[in-house]
Amino acid sequence: MMWLILVLVVVVPLLLLFAFNRYMSPNMDTFSKMNIDSPPASGFLGHFGQTFKRGLFLNQLEMYNRYKDKKVYGIYNLGKPILMVRDLDIVKDIMVKHFNSFVDRRVVFEFDPPFKENMLMLKGEHWKHVRSMVSPAFSSGRIKRMSRHVERISQRLVNVLRGKQERNEDIELKNTISHFTLDVIASTAVGLETNTLEDPDNIFANHALNCTVRLSSVYVLLAFMAPRLCNVLRKVGVTLISKKSLQFFADTVDAAMENRKEEGQAGKVNDFVDLLINAEREPGQTDKALTRSEIHGQALVFILGGYDTVATVLSFTLFLLANHPDCCQKLQKELDEKLGNESPNYDNVQSLTYMDMCINESMRMFPPGFLIDRVCTEDTVIQGIPIPKDMVVTTPAYAIHHDPDIWPEPNKFQPERFSPENKESRHPYAFMPFGNGPRNCIGMRLAMVELRVALAYVLKSLTPVTCEKTVYPVTLKKFQLTAEKGLWVKFNARK
C-alpha cells in the first residue's frame, strides 16, 4: 500500500511534469539554430515567468533595450518561439512588402460559435473575403453618416460632466468615458439607445462590461503567452467570454437585422448593422457575401473593440491635458479660433491639427495596440534573416513608442513631436497605434472621428484639471493598458 501511495504521490506527478515539459518546450533551441540572440530562458516556462513578474510593459521595454544593436531577437513563451522585430525597415517589410507571407495574425484564443468567424481570428483568403465585405462600412461617406450618432452622444457626455463639475465631484475618466463610448458603439453598431452615461446598469452595458473585464484578466496574459494551455482550458469549459454574453450580442444583432427588414428600415439607420444587412448571403447566393456566422463575428469585434479602445485613448488624452494645462489651453485656443460658436462635427474637426497632435502623443505613450503579431505562412527571407513557416513575428509597439533614440524623453507628453516637420524627420513605422499595412485596424478612421468630436465637445465647454486624487506620472497595471491608481481629474467650466 505504501508503495502504491509513493507512486501516486511522487512518481506520477514527476512523469506528468516531464511530459508537460516535453509538450511545452520542443523548440527551445530554435533561435540558437537560427543564430539569433535570445535571453536565458527558464526551462519550459521560457520567458513567461519574467513577463508575469515584471508585467507586459516593463518586460517588453527591458527585452527591447537589451538588444539595442540587433535588428531582431527571440523569446520563448512556454516553449513557443517568438521572433521580436526592432528594426523598423523589417517591420515595414513584414506588414507591407511581404504582406502575403504574413497575412495571418496569431490566434491567441478562439471563440466558440456564434462569434468564431471574427476578423481578428480569420486567416488567409477567408480573412481577405470578410475584410473586403466589411470595409465599405468604414468609407468616408458611411463614417460621416455614423458621426451624427457621435455628435449627439458627445453632447450628452458634456451634460453629464457639467453636472459633476457643478457638484464639484472628482471624476475617474476611464469609468465615465467608457459609458460614453459604449453608448456610441450601441448606437453606431446596432442602432440602440442605451444611455449608459445616465443608466450604467442597463443590460447592454452589463454584458459588455462582463466581456471586457474578462478580456482584461490574467486569462488574456495566458492567451498571449500560452495559447495551447488556453485551448485546453476552453475545452473543459473555461472560456474568455461567457456564452451568455455572447448569445446576448448574437440575439441583439439578429433582432436588429430582422426588425429592419420587416419594417422596411434597412439601410436607413446609418449604422454597422445596415452594412451587414446589405452584405448578408441569401439562400442560394454565391460566396460574395457574408454568412450569419461571419456577421456575428464582425459585430462582436466592432462592439468590443470599438468600446474599450476609444475609451482608453480618450481618457488618457483628457488626463494628460489636465496635467499639462499649457497644452490644454493651446488646444482650446485652436477650438475657439477654428470652430467659434459652431458645434463640432465630422467636417470641421478635420482642421484641428493641434488636437490630432495631442491625440497622437497620447497614443504614443499609451498605444492601444501595444503588441502587433503576425504569423509567417511560408519560408521567407527578409534583409538576410530567414523566417521559417509558422514562426510568430511580433512588433513590440509599446517599446518602440518609448525608444529614446526615436522619441527623446519618451515619458514626457510633448504633442509637438507630431508637428508636420517632426513627422517628416521620423521613420513612418515609428508610430503604430493601430498597426500598419493591409491588416491594420479596420475601424481606426471611425475611432479618430469619435475621438476628435468627443474631445472637441468637452473642451469647448469644460477644462480638465488635476485634483487631490490625481496620480501622475501614470503607472500601468501589469497586464492591462490601465492606470494603476486611476485617471482622476476635475472639470472647470469655461468662461
Binding-site annotation, residues for heme: 441
Task: With H, G, I as helix, E, B as strand and everything else as coil, classify residue 303.
Answer: helix
Give the whole-angstrom CA distance, residue 209 versus residue 487.
18
CA dihedral over 454, 170, 358, 428, signed as positive or negative: negative
Question: What are the C-alpha distances in Å from 222 to residues 236, 294, 448, 475?
Answer: 16, 26, 31, 22
Across-strand partners of 490?
465
Q: What is the CA radius of gyration of the chain?
A: 24
487: amino acid identity, one letter: L
Give the whole-angstrom CA distance, residue 379 versus residue 34.
13
Give the whole-angstrom CA distance, residue 494 versus residue 443.
33
CA dihedral over 199, 203, 206, 207, signed as positive or negative: negative
Known binding site: residues?
Answer: 441
What the block records as the C-alpha cell of 326 is: 499649457
Is residue 447 within 8 A of residue 441, CB to CB? The reply is yes
For residue 114, the number of C-alpha atoms closer than 13 Å in the C-beta half-sphere is: 19
CA dihedral over 208, 212, 213, 214, signed as positive or negative: positive
Which residue is listed with cell 446598469?
Answer: 201
